[in-house]
Structure 1
Amino acid sequence: MDEIERFLTTPPSLRFAFAVKVKVGPIQDLGQTARGHRRIVDILGGEAHGPRFEGEILPGGADWQIVRPDGAIEVVARYTIRSRSGALVYVQNDGLRVASPQVLARMSKGELVPFDSYHFRTAPRFETADPSLKWMERATFVGVAARTPDRVAIGFHEVL
C-alpha cells in the first residue's frame, strides 16, 4: 500500500462538540406528493449543550421528511440556535433514519424503541455571522441521532 492509499484508508477521528435536544410537534402527514411521501415535523424549541457550544433552539424551524418506498426516512431539518452570547446560528441538518418495518411501526404509534434498534445519522451545516463561532462553518460534522415521541436528540461530532 502506498502513502496515498494509507492516507485514504485511515479513518478520521471524531471529537464531540455538543448535543441538541429538540422538542418537536406531531407529524404532519401530507401523503404522497410528486417528490414522495412527505411529512413535516415542527421544531418547537430546545437546547444545545457541550464542550464547544451552548445555546437555545428557537421555535419556528421544521424537519421536512420524505418516507421512501423502502421505509427509510430522508430528513432535512432547518432551525436556528441562539448561542449563550446571543449570536444566531442557522442549522441545516440532512440525515437518514432506517429501521425495520416493525420498529418503524412502533415509532409511528409514538412508542419509545431502543436507540440501537435503528440507524439515524445526520450531516449538519452551520452558518453564523459571529466571528467567535466561525469554526462551526469551517468544520465537518456527523450527527448521531435518537428519536423519542416528542423529541429528537443529536450529538454533533467534529470530523478531524
Structure 2
Amino acid sequence: MPVPPLPPALEHVFTIEVAISPPLSNGAGENGERKHIPITGGTVSGPLLRGRVLPGGYDWLWQRPDGVAEVNAHYSLEAEDGTLIYVRNFGLRVALPETRAALRVGEPVDPGAYYFRAAPVFDAPDGRHQWLRETLFVSRVTPQPGGVTVDVFRCL
C-alpha cells in the first residue's frame, strides 16, 4: 500500500506591512471592476529579512463579478543592507458581500470571515538575498487601516 504524500512544511520568514492610498477605479463593467491601488511605503520585519517597502508600486486588483478579488501587486523592497528586491504578489480574496462591504470601508473584520492568500515571487540579485528567488512562498494577507499585512512563509 503506497504511503500518502506529506504536505510541505511552512516557515514564517518575514512580514511586510504595506501602506496604500485609497484605490482608484475604472468603474464597474461586464467583467467586474479594476482597481488601481497605489503602494506608498511600509516595512519588512522578521527573522530572515528586514527593510522597507519603497513607494511607487501598485496593486491592480480585479474585483470579479463572482465576488472574488484577484490581487496583482508589483512593488520593491529595500533590505537593511540596501539591496533592492522586486516583488510580484498574486493572490485571491474570497468573501461574502457583507464582508467585502466592511473591508471596503475599513471596518475591522475577523480574518476567519474571508480567504485572502497570495503567492509572492521575489527577484533579488546574487549574494545574501538570492535565496528569495530560489524558494517558493505563500502568504496570508490581512487588511489593516491604510494598508495590508502580508505574512510570508517559505515552503520547505
Sort the TM-score into its range (normalised by shorter chain). Answer: over 0.9
| CA apart distance, 1:110 | 2.3
| CA apart distance, 1:152 | 0.5
Which runs of 4 or more aligned residues in structure 1 lie more than 3 Å from their structure 2 counterparts after TM superposition? 32-36
Q: Which runs of 5+ in 1 are unaligned?
A: none
Once residues 14 and 102 of structure 2 are traced to their aligned partners in structure 1, the CA distance between those partners, rounded to angstroms, is: 29
Once residues 2 and 127 of structure 1 are traced to their aligned partners in structure 2, the CA distance between those partners, rounded to angstroms, is: 38
Task: Tell me if structure 2 keeps the 8 A contact 1:107–1:149.
Answer: no
Q: Does 1:114 align with 2:110?
A: yes
Once residues 74 and 25 of structure 1 are traced to their aligned partners in structure 2, the CA distance between those partners, rounded to angstroms, is: 18
Equivalent residue number for residue 151 of structure 2: 155
* Structure with more helix by fraction: 1
Q: Which runs of 5+ in 2 are unaligned?
A: none
Alignment TM-score, normalising by the size of structure 2: 0.94
Percent of aligned positions with the same letter in both sequences? Answer: 37
| CA apart distance, 1:2 | 2.3
What is the number of residues matched between the two proteins? 156
Q: Does 1:60 align with 2:68?
A: no
Alignment TM-score, normalising by the size of structure 1: 0.92
Equivalent residue number for residue 2 of structure 1: 2
Q: Does 1:79 align with 2:75?
A: yes
| CA apart distance, 1:35 | 5.7
Task: Tell me if structure 1 keeps the 8 A contact 2:31–2:65.
Answer: no
Once residues 85 and 99 of structure 2 are traced to their aligned partners in structure 1, the CA distance between those partners, rounded to angstroms, is: 33
Task: Tell me if structure 2 keeps the 8 A contact 1:87–1:130.
Answer: no
Task: Tell me if structure 2 keeps the 8 A contact 1:126–1:137.
Answer: yes
Deviations 1:13-49 (A, max 9, x none): 0011100001110011111468641001100100000
Q: Could you say if the C-alpha distance between residues 32 and 13 of structure 1 is closer, same or farther in structure 2, counting changes exceeding 3 Å?
A: same
